[in-house]
């Protein structure tokens, strides 16, 4: 079951590479949030009930509801255009994402580990690097935020992998989520959209040498 969930998670990364509309990004984030909720529910069997409820609530409330809702309202409030405006064609993006996933699978081949499930490793590393790729290959600042959320989801999968042995790591991962979501989206929602009406990275290029 866990393997199936991770494979579905990986396929969402491919969809991210070719998605053409901002709203699709938000929908993918909602879907990833639900997937992570299920992964946490099935995997963290050794957790105390209270801690498990806390983590499940975080994944569903933050990852699947609050953050996507916030992104959606920013898109509406600032009248952000629908297109994702990549620097590269979607086909190239798809190829690069495939290369990232294949690279992660090859890297996982060198792991002989009883604690870490290879599926978790591949899912996490692919998400982290796909997130980074989204950040460097898209023009809109909001897409950078989406890229960051994907990185966070990858980090969360990795923390789940060691979760049963080190529960504190999962809680720390949640802290990172909340910190970054509130802070980054807070700045974005409150300030950047109001000050810079044209919200792509070209409007944030005044500071240079």
Burial state string for 11-48 with b = 16 or more CB within 10 A and e = fewer than 16: ebbbebbebeebeebbbbbbbbbebbbbbbeebbeebe
Binding site residues, other proteins, CB under 8 A:
110-111, 113, 115-116, 124, 128, 132, 135, 141, 144, 148, 151-152, 155, 158-159, 161-162, 165-166, 168-169, 172-173, 175-176, 179-180, 183-184, 187-188, 191-192, 195-196, 204, 206-207, 209
Q: Is the Cβ of residue 100 or residue 141 nearer to other proteins in the bound state?
A: 141
Q: How far is the CB of 142 from other proteins (least distance, A)?
A: 12
Q: How far is the CB of 91 from other proteins (least distance, A)?
A: 27
Rounded distance between C-alpha atoms, residue 147 and residue 167, angstroms = 26
Q: Is the Cβ of residue 38 or residue 135 nearer to other proteins in the bound state?
A: 135
- Residues in contact with 3: Cβ distance below 8 Å, sequence separation at least 6, in sequence order: 119
Of the CA atoms within 13 Å of residue 194, those in its CB half-sphere come to 5
- SS3 label, residue 207: coil
Q: How far is the CB of 29 from other proteins (least distance, A)?
A: 16
Q: Is the Cβ of residue 95 or residue 136 nearer to other proteins in the bound state?
A: 136
Beta bridge partners of residue 164, listed in sequence order:
none
Q: Is the Cβ of residue 56 or residue 116 nearer to other proteins in the bound state?
A: 116
Rounded distance between C-alpha atoms, residue 122 and residue 124, angstroms = 6
Q: How far is the CB of 89 from other proteins (least distance, A)?
A: 25
CA 161 to each of CA 14, 36, 66, 121: distance values in angstroms, whole numbers, following the listed order: 22, 12, 24, 8
Q: Is the Cβ of residue 53 or residue 187 nearer to other proteins in the bound state?
A: 187
Q: How far is the CB of 180 from other proteins (least distance, A)?
A: 5
- SS3 label, residue 164: coil
């Amino acid at each position: 079951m866990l393997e199936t969930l991770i494979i579905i998670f990986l396929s969402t990364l491919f969809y991210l590479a070719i998605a053409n509309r901002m709203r699709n990004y938000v929908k993918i984030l909602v879907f990833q949030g639900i997937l992570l909720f299920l992964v946490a529910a099935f995997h963290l069997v050794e957790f105390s009930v209270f801690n498990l409820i806390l983590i499940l609530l975080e994944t569903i409330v933050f990852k699947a509801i609050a953050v996507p809702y916030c992104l959606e309202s920013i898109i509406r409030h600032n009248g952000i255009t629908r297109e994702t405006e990549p620097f590269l064609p979607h086909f190239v993006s798809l190829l690069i994402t495939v290369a990232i996933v294949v690279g992660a699978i090859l890297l996982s081949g060198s792991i002989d580990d009883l604690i870490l499930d290879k599926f978790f490793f591949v899912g996490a590393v692919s998400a982290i690097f796909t997130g980074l790729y989204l950040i460097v290959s898209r023009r809109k600042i909001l897409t950078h935020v989406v890229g960051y959320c994907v990185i966070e989801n990858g980090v969360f999968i990795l923390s789940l992998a060691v979760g049963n042995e080190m529960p504190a790591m999962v809680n720390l991962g949640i802290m990172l989520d909340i910190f970054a979501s509130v802070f980054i989206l807070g700045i974005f929602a409150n300030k950047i959209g109001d000050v810079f009406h044209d919200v792509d990275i070209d409007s944030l290029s005044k500071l240079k040498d």
